[in-house]
Amino acid sequence: MSASPPVILVTGAARRIGAAIARLLHAAGACIALHYRASAAEAQALADELNGERAGSALTVAADLCDSAALPPLIETVVAHFGRLDALVNNASSFFATPLGAIDARAWHELMGSNLQGPLFLAQAAATHLAASPLEGGGAIVNITDIHAERPLAGYTLYCAAKGGLLTLTRALAIELAPRVRVNAVAPGAIAWPENEHDFPPAERQAIIAHTLLGRIGEPLDIARTVRFLIFDAPYVTGQTINVDGGRTAHL
């Protein structure tokens, strides 16, 4: 790391996997910009926690990732506050079923906006700042995709298409931003179940676990550790996706 703390923007950082990523990167010495859309109280509580550990090391920033015009100002707010930006973690994601025949413009706007459009416009706005990072290997972008980006899940056509787009965007950005910015992805398998139990009822959850080589679901920390590796310990890795799925895709 450079002499001054690196600065990392994590989208969807208030809760669940995003909060785990933010905590681990903060523990590694980074200053963290915690993006949120609606979870203001949770984001502020996490910022207070991190600032209690190291004063001035966390900032909350609000934006709707579906509003592309709001994203360049979001990046500039982070840079104005911390003076730099070294890494972007595109974690925020909407997830819900879209059975074919019932897909509408609202679902398209939400799923494509949060999972593909937002990461693209954030990366575009952040590119110049990331290229100036003094980190070994330069700046970094880590996109959180999904194992179903390549192996679609029945009933989730639009979500899988959006994550598939993010997977391809990862490779395209790695080409466009080389050699000063590395762009990689982490594809979670069964890590944290959706909060809506209707998405994966108990019998379906058990079937997924049974199909996972390690015989259990993972933890948000499993994703956070992989993100940390890609940002700080992988200066010769770009354009790649790491599946963190307990071996599920080995025989899907």
36 has catalytic annotation: no
- Start-to-end Cα distance in the chain: 39
Residues in the chain: 252
Of 36, 156, 159, 236, which is the active-site residue? 159
CA 49 to CA 166: how far, in whole Å? 31
Residue 164 one-letter amino acid: G
* Contacts of 206 by beta carbon, 8 Å cutoff, 6+ apart: none
Residues taking part in catalysis: 159
